[in-house]
Structure 1
Amino acid sequence: MTAFTSKIVSTSDSYVTNRQEMLSLIDDLHALKDRARDLSERRRPIFEQRGQLTPRERVVRLLDPGMPFLELFGLANYMVDTDDREKSIPGASSITGIGFINGVRCMICASDSGINAGAMTQKSGEKLRNCQDIAIDKKLPFVHLVESAGANLLKYQVESWAWGGGGFQRLAKLSAAGIPTFVVLHGPSTAGGAYLPGMSDYVIGIKGRGRASLGGAALVRAATGEISDEEELAGSEMHATTTGLVEYLAEDDAHGLLIARDIVGRLDWNKNCARPTIETFEEPIYDPDEIAGVVPVDYRKPYDVREVVARLVDGSEFDEFKPRYGSTLVCLQASIYGHAVGIVGNNGPIDPDSAAKGGQFFQLCDQADIPIIFLNNITGYMVGKEYEQRGMIKHGSKMIQAVANVRVPKLTLYIGASFGAGNYGMGGFAYEPDFLFAWPNAQTGVMGGEQAATTMEQVARGVAERKGQDVDEEAFAAQKARLIHHFDSQADAFYTSGRLLDQGVIDPRDSRKVLGFALQTCWEARNRTLHPNSFGVARL
């Protein structure tokens, strides 16, 4: 392969401006995540009074020290419960991601009971189900640290209840697939939440704190008149001695997490996965930290996507596929942490030649069993008489068809604009990439606000002309401003991530590490042998 020669000058005005603007967005990202952390930490005195660990301390105790943890859906529910950007709390009252427990790569979900006692938000259930889907697809043991007040009945929505059953269905699917599921019962798990331990393979209950029941004491009294003690009704000790719901009784949170680590370790999970060949690789010649200055925050400012790739791939080396044909689509062969990859990036809108080139490149990657990485910065496919007559629809459709049907892992990063059908052709959300992350400067939607407003203005002017009506310029200007705001307010990465249209917003400088972690996760899934059964492990 050929090492790329960068043309970036880190002292140039454009680089300095790009870096300042990108770092400002990264600061905004951290500030948003800190909202949930800070709000949860306010209840630390209560956790300490009870002799409990805080939710984030539980996650830290569960994970192997010094090993990577890939957070997923960290902005879930942002701008969903409220339109106030300054007050919206991201995270959907849970902490989720992929990490290592006793050397085993696992999916971890933890109730953030420091926020509204862990009560579910509008996106909590969807976030949980998405994590379960990843666990099923990537063959990851599923570990759930449970302490939740359950559904917020004041915000009841029938569709949330209907979809909610999918979380329990997925627990059954995981078990039947031969993927073990675990619950550490740190606190209450009532009503539908009782099926979280009920449907799991291994349950660890914390003495005096963990509780599971279909009806809490208040509900039981309201429904039947029966006055019940919470421990007798739902406590971990009762379940460990009377119902058999709890397999392992722990003295406190720390003990429960230690038991969980021990159980995961004793399963010898990694014996059913081939050991990866240790590939030698070189770090990029160009520092990934420079990405913050390479990419403009404004997607309308052009740059060479190869400059990004040179800061992601081993040795900053890659070979380019058809560099002189369909040049607005850049197709590269490279490696990341020793994993061979095909990389597709954008240096402009996709024209018919670019689409044809992309469709062929995707098929070649599929034939060679090489994962595809999409660096998604696309304003769309070209329009106009010339491009229509050159077969834009036909070639664009074949590109999209190839994206939809490749069998190799697809990893997508939204690194700028991602509009219209261009999003589809570049492995967007609906095309089910194995992993999909966004940079904080990313903008996604059917089109940009300015483009949408201009299109609607031209249509409205045409209608007025046909009817012989006078044009009210002030009204047109006001409508244009409203449309720009309507489209652009829904396009930024924080807003779309809050709606789970990606798996999280990441610092662009972490992209190489994130891609490497995701590639290894995909490799393990494709090389792991499971031992499925028909119905999952029944609790008897």
Structure 2
Amino acid sequence: MYHCMTRLAEQLWQCSVRRMSSAAGRKRSLRGAFPVLEQPLQLIHRHVYEANIQNSNACHKMFKELSEKVRKGGGENAIARHTQRNRKLLVWDRLRHLLDDEDFLELSAFAGLDLPYGDIPSAGCLTGIGRIRGLWCVIIANDATVKGGASYPITVKKQLRAQEVAIKNRLPCVYLVDSGGAFLPLQAEIFPDKNHGGKAFYNEAIMSALKIPQVAVVCGSCTAGGAYVPTMTEEAVMVHRIGTIFLGGPPLVKAATGEEVTPEDLGGARLHAEVSGCIDHFAWEEEEAYNCTRNIISTLNFQLPEDEEEDEGMTRKRKTEEEPLYSSEELLGLAPQSYGYSLDVKMVISRLVDGSRFQEFKARYGTTLITGFAKIHGHLVGIVANNGELLYQAALKGSHFIQLCDQRDIPLLFLQNTAPAAAPTLSTKQAETNSNRLKAQGSMMSAVACAAVPKITVVIGGSHGADSYAMCGRAFDPNFLFLWPNARVSVTAPGHAGSLLPTDGEEEEEQRKQLEDDLNRTLKDESSAFYGSARLWDDGVILPQKTRKVLRDCLDIIKQQQYQLSKERRQCALLRM
């Protein structure tokens, strides 16, 4: 009788614990209704708004043209060879088989365009974040229609950035390997240095030690250095007849030994599944390989929260409350064509946040920097937005607010539109003012660098000079950094090159004017959002009206790491046999 009572008590306790755990998974944020930002368009804004609209339309046209170009990959002939002769799926079709849906956050889509060594659409590989079995995963997928899948310097840089995103956000990583190895004529820019090709394998080991899961699907050639990608992941899937793994292919074997051997006999799926043990799962077709990968992801040690049940009326009410009061299409007229065409940044904020509600912090102090709290699709964020020059008071205010968010574990969103050039020093008083500003900006940079909370940066206008560092530019390691198509990134804005030139030089006025004009032309070409994105200075160019959705995905992705049940770092990576 005693034992029966004891067992019954234990069962009741376990049920109680399960109920508490389930309730804990449905925790809600503290209730609150932030003040509404009343920021409608006024007649006084009409001239600036219409000029910005015209510029945004031109930028959107360029965005559309480049998007179509990169979606074509290596062109019609390469696509036909890839699908008909090699009988392989295209990279986007592979994603459709692998992911739950088409909700895919692509990273750096324009990387590789118009580089000194030619056009490499999407840098020869597709990277981004999508859901597999409900879990956000980083995808790194080679596109063999581009230069036969060869790795160029920009390819390596893009793959390393995708791994960095996986590490920073603790996201599982899936590699779809279909690569011919390094492009040898550019080996000096691919192989020897710290952040060249070898760093990808270093990252794989570190990710494994950090318990960040990695899975590889060998769905094409996996040659030379690329052969290490699947052998260093935790689980690998290989497709029969189209997947191969070897350091040197049949032509190299013939040149070295005179022996003729087929790719399948040298390094096919059967060999590696049955003899070498380099892979863990054999697939007859590509579709089978992606189903197998989805099942592997379902074994990962994550416990996602259960969706709360709510009736249709509650769902409709919640969605209505979440939407801003103003149309996101109006952001096209708020994207400044230059610094002089900037409108109040609160107008931008009111078109991004839930219900256009914003709890401003230090509203009457340092007014050239806007700081405060808001929600984006239910995620609480701290917003730091330029609204003029980053002056002494504004930088102090920024430092205070950033540290406050760090104290409360609230993610930070930076909306960057910095002054076009540094303030000149024309008097002793101005020198003192600028010195104070430098000290305050230094404090703000320290606050940004040391803040442990996730950070997202969107460049909505200009990103120039030291102000861009204080606003969490690329060097300050945000989790994600995106640009609007109108954005400009340079040490000083086009048209302001004169601020960089000495005023007491010996050059004649005509020579100085020529030098200034040449610099301004260079700045105009090299500060374009598309120029920078082609070189991976950011995580991609996004349309203003799509910004809210991109921010929602980023915040969902950042939040996912709290659902991983086991995160303690191991002493070393998982060692395969």
Specify if TM > 0.5: yes
SS of corresponding position for 2:341: coil
Letter in structure 1 aligned against 2:74: S
Distance 1:528 1:249 in 2: 28
- 1:391-450 superposed Cα distances (whole Å, 9 cap, x missing partner): 112211111111111111111001111111100111111111111111111111211232
For 1:74, the equivalent position in structure 2 comes to 109
For 1:364, the equivalent position in structure 2 comes to 404
Aligned residue among 164, 168, 171 for 1:137: 168
Aligned residue among 432, 436, 439 for 1:389: 432
* Count of matched residue positions in the alignment of Structure 1 and Structure 2: 524
- 1:249-291 superposed Cα distances (whole Å, 9 cap, x missing partner): 11122221121112212x14432x5669899552111111210
Aligned residue among 97, 100, 109 for 2:128: 97
For 2:180, the equivalent position in structure 1 comes to 149
2:48 is the alignment partner of 1:5: no
2:150 is the alignment partner of 1:119: yes
Distance 2:476 2:430 in 1: 25
Please tell me whether the aligned partners of residues 186 and 209 of structure 1 are also in contact (alpha carbons under 8 angstroms): yes
Distance 1:207 1:431 in 2: 44
SS of corresponding position for 2:460: strand
For 1:513, the equivalent position in structure 2 comes to 549
Letter in structure 1 aligned against 2:156: G
Matched ranges for 1:236-385 at <5 A: 236-265=269-298, 267-271=299-303, 282-379=322-419, 382-384=423-425, 385=428
| Deviation, structure 1 residue 221 | 2.3
Please tell me whether the aligned partners of residues 32 and 89 of structure 1 are also in contact (alpha carbons under 8 angstroms): no
Distance 2:107 2:133 in 1: 20
Aligned residue among 83, 89, 95 for 1:59: 95
2:78 is the alignment partner of 1:30: no
Letter in structure 2 aligned against 1:247: D
| Deviation, structure 1 residue 161 | 4.2
For 1:449, the equivalent position in structure 2 comes to 494
Distance 1:158 1:444 in 2: 24
For 1:208, the equivalent position in structure 2 comes to 241
Distance 1:291 1:429 in 2: 24
CA 1:90–1:116: 2 relative to 1, 3 Å: closer
Distance 1:433 1:224 in 2: 51
- 1:2-43 superposed Cα distances (whole Å, 9 cap, x missing partner): 111123159945433322321321221221132122243513
- 1:164-204 superposed Cα distances (whole Å, 9 cap, x missing partner): 11111111122222222111111111111100111111111
2:570 is the alignment partner of 1:536: no
SS of corresponding position for 2:505: helix
For 1:413, the equivalent position in structure 2 comes to 458
Distance 2:527 2:539 in 1: 16
For 1:169, the equivalent position in structure 2 comes to 202
For 2:478, the equivalent position in structure 1 comes to 433
SS of corresponding position for 2:217: strand
- 1:295-316 superposed Cα distances (whole Å, 9 cap, x missing partner): 2222332310000000000000
Distance 2:462 2:35 in 1: 29
SS of corresponding position for 1:127: helix
TM-score (norm. length: structure 1): 0.92
CA 1:439–1:333: 2 relative to 1, 3 Å: same
Please tell me whether the aligned partners of residues 333 and 340 of structure 1 are also in contact (alpha carbons under 8 angstroms): yes
CA 1:7–1:158: 2 relative to 1, 3 Å: closer
Distance 1:236 1:95 in 2: 24
| Deviation, structure 1 residue 387 | 5.0
Please tell me whether the aligned partners of residues 138 and 171 of structure 2 are also in contact (alpha carbons under 8 angstroms): yes
| Deviation, structure 1 residue 89 | 4.0
Which blocks of at least 5 consecutive residues in structure 1 are unaligned?
Answer: none
| Deviation, structure 1 residue 530 | 2.8
Please tell me whether the aligned partners of residues 119 and 151 of structure 1 are also in contact (alpha carbons under 8 angstroms): yes
Please tell me whether the aligned partners of residues 33 and 90 of structure 1 are also in contact (alpha carbons under 8 angstroms): no
Letter in structure 2 aligned against 1:534: Q
Distance 2:87 2:199 in 1: 34
CA 1:446–1:105: 2 relative to 1, 3 Å: same
Letter in structure 1 aligned against 2:177: V
SS of corresponding position for 2:383: strand
Q: Kindly, what percent of the aligned residue pairs are identical?
A: 35
For 2:529, the equivalent position in structure 1 comes to 493
Aligned residue among 18, 24, 29 for 2:52: 18
CA 1:448–1:14: 2 relative to 1, 3 Å: closer
Please tell me whether the aligned partners of residues 18 and 292 of structure 1 are also in contact (alpha carbons under 8 angstroms): yes
Please tell me whether the aligned partners of residues 203 and 247 of structure 1 are also in contact (alpha carbons under 8 angstroms): yes
| Deviation, structure 1 residue 483 | 1.1
CA 1:354–1:159: 2 relative to 1, 3 Å: same
Aligned residue among 88, 96, 109 for 2:140: 109
| Deviation, structure 1 residue 454 | 4.8
Which blocks of at least 5 consecutive residues in structure 2 are unaligned?
Answer: 1-33, 310-314
Distance 1:453 1:225 in 2: 65
SS of corresponding position for 1:109: strand
SS of corresponding position for 1:184: strand
| Deviation, structure 1 residue 224 | 3.4
CA 1:128–1:4: 2 relative to 1, 3 Å: same
- 1:342-369 superposed Cα distances (whole Å, 9 cap, x missing partner): 1111111111111111111111111121
TM-score (norm. length: structure 2): 0.86
| Deviation, structure 1 residue 243 | 0.7
CA 1:14–1:158: 2 relative to 1, 3 Å: closer
| Deviation, structure 1 residue 159 | 5.2
Q: Which has the larger radius of gyration?
A: 2
Please tell me whether the aligned partners of residues 301 and 566 of structure 2 are also in contact (alpha carbons under 8 angstroms): no
Please tell me whether the aligned partners of residues 137 and 171 of structure 2 are also in contact (alpha carbons under 8 angstroms): yes
Q: Which moved more, 1:8-17 or 1:125-134?
A: 8-17
For 1:463, the equivalent position in structure 2 comes to 505
Please tell me whether the aligned partners of residues 51 and 252 of structure 1 are also in contact (alpha carbons under 8 angstroms): no
